[in-house]
Structure 1
Amino acid sequence: MPEPVIPEQAADPGADGMSYTEPDDLRRIRAFVTERATRLGLPESRIDLLTLAVSELTTNTLQHSGGGGHIRVWAEDGQLVCDVVDGGGPRPFGRSMPSAEAVRGRGLAIVERVCDAVYTATVPGGTMVRIFLNL
């Protein structure tokens, strides 16, 4: 498998993207990601995983960062790559799945489990989470 692009590298300048600012945008985000992933050749069974991961990340943005964000999606070196950029702080990846009794806190753990790789980096004005799914 090719080495993933490190988070400090910019997204493909030809990457399709969209911004979101409110919960009503989540349906458009899921449709955008599904359409783009289909066009880029991600298998149907993996599109559901991508859509779940992006939905968790964007919902996290809307609940915790006090604003919206921007998504970019492209294919590179046999992988579908998706950036979710928002004005929030660093994400606490690498934690275990919360217990079944926990009311919250599963979103980032789910993202890590359904993606082939996840990276996060501080960017001007916020944080970027870059997820990878092998094509």
Structure 2
Amino acid sequence: MTDPATMAYGRAEDLPLVRAFAREQALTAGLDAGSVEALAIAVSELVTNTLQHTSGGGRIRVWAENGSVFCEVADGGSVPGTPRAMPAPDAERGRGLAIVEMLCDDMTTVAGPGRGVVRLRFAIKPPA
């Protein structure tokens, strides 16, 4: 396991920096371009949820281990259990975590007192 690269965030203005950080770390760790973008979209959704539904911001960590890239978003909120069904087409909200789950190879959530963590796994694909 490589040491996780970590970045804290707390304001909406941090979102572009978080996306850039996630892309750079995922690319450095060996993800292909498509998986890098999927990870960036997933991270963007998770960080947006933090900024909309919690106070105090959060932290993102990215690392490579055993042929996969892991990305963890932690904040002071709670996370719903899995699996997440896609809301009805006329629902105004609630698609974010379902989309995140579709983008990655695996997603786990851990909720504790005053802490929510979402961990994503993306498999590193061998070059073609």
TM over 0.5: yes
Aligned counterparts of 2:65 and 2:33: Cα–Cα separation in 1: 18
Alignment match of 1:120 (pick from 88, 109, 112): 109
- Give aligned pairs, total: 124
Instruction: Supply the RMSD in Å over aligned alpha carbons.
Output: 1.5
Tell me if the contact between 1:93 and 1:109 (Cα under 8 Å) persists in the aligned partners. Answer: no
Superposed displacement of residue 40, structure 1: 0.7
Alignment match of 1:65 (pick from 51, 54, 65): 54
- How many percent identity over aligned positions? 47
Aligned-partner residue type, residue 49 of structure 1: A
Superposed displacement of residue 121, structure 1: 1.0
Superposed displacement of residue 66, structure 1: 2.1
Q: What per-residue deviation string (whole Å, max 9, x for no partner) do you get for residues 19-39 of structure 1? A: 000111000000000011111
Superposed displacement of residue 123, structure 1: 4.6
Alignment match of 1:33 (pick from 6, 12, 22): 22
The TM-score normalised by the length of structure 2 is 0.91
Alignment match of 1:87 (pick from 72, 76, 92): 76
Aligned-partner residue type, residue 55 of structure 1: S
Q: Which is worse superposed, 33-42 or 122-131?
A: 122-131
Aligned counterparts of 2:10 and 2:45: Cα–Cα separation in 1: 15
Superposed displacement of residue 103, structure 1: 1.0
Aligned-partner residue type, residue 63 of structure 1: Q
Superposed displacement of residue 97, structure 1: 0.7
Report matched runs for 1:12-51 at 5 Å: 14-51=3-40
Change in CA separation of 1:71 and 1:103 when aligned onto 2, cut-off 3 Å: same
**Divergent runs of 4+, >3 A:** none
Q: What per-residue deviation string (whole Å, max 9, x for no partner) do you get for residues 75-96 of structure 1? A: 0000100110000013243121
The TM-score normalised by the length of structure 1 is 0.86
Structure 2 partner of 1:134: 123
